[in-house]
Chain A
Amino acid sequence: NAGVTQTPKFRVLKTGQSMTLLCAQDMNHEYMYWYRQDPGMGLRLIHYSVGEGTTAKGEVPDGYNVSRLKKQNFLLGLESAAPSQTSVYFCASSYERTTGRVTNTGELFFGEGSRLTVL
């Protein structure tokens, strides 16, 4: 019963280095998301995907790229890390739910978070 799994949990990078965060979900959810959490700013959406092979920009996409080659995986890449990208990153997934009146998605299921520090 894994749910949403993020790897790695912690990472320290030097400015200019690249890295990829991996998110995997085993709930067959269509939608997946990457958020970043910074003190006093809540969670802000970086990128999201509504299905395999599709991605879209969120509120703060600059400096990040994503890919959704398989339905269960959503990768977040930093090509050239900057200190401003020091943050806690959360992956989430959700499903489509029809209420009978409107089509709503259900709540987001979150991973445990990945703490990234860029020096």
Chain B
Amino acid sequence: AQKITQTQPGMFVQEKEAVTLDCTYDTSDQSYGLFWYKQPSSGEMIFLIYQGSYDEQNATEGRYSLNFQKARKSANLVISASQLGDSAMYFCAMREAGLIYNQGGKLIFGQGTELSVKP
């Protein structure tokens, strides 16, 4: 069964420094996708970045990059030049393509990492 693990319940980072949030996953599928979402204190879920299992390059979106190590089954999120507004809960999630159409696009989420950026 697929599983997502985020081992860091909480992290602190100094403003303007880079931070890495860990995510490991377990799946027997060859085709899957990995996502990171941000949830600020206001509660909404904000999509940050996506990495497909067949993508050869690590995904990047502005200050966010995904350090994808397929053999180690890890998909760590790197935030460069942290800002105070980056303080939030971050969730890693995975979707398996599946062989059956009615699998849908459902995501399995990790437990989340709460990031606090210090001024």
Contact = CB atoms under 8 A, between A and B. Distances in A.
B108 A45 contact: yes
Interface residues of B, number: 28
Contact of A96 (B9, B93, B105, B109): B105
Contact of A94 (B31, B43, B52, B105): B105
Nearest to A108: B107
A42 B106 contact: no
A25 to B, nearest CB: 14
Contact of B97 (A33, A45, A59, A104): A104
Interface of A: 31, 33, 35, 40-45, 48-50, 54, 56, 58-59, 88, 90, 92, 94, 96, 99, 101-110, 112-113
29 contacts: A31-B104, A31-B105, A33-B106, A40-B9, A42-B109, A42-B110, A42-B111, A44-B109, A45-B107, A49-B104, A50-B102, A56-B104, A59-B108, A92-B45, A94-B105, A99-B52, A101-B54, A102-B52, A102-B54, A102-B97, A104-B31, A104-B52, A105-B33, A105-B95, A107-B35, A108-B45, A108-B107, A113-B43, A113-B44
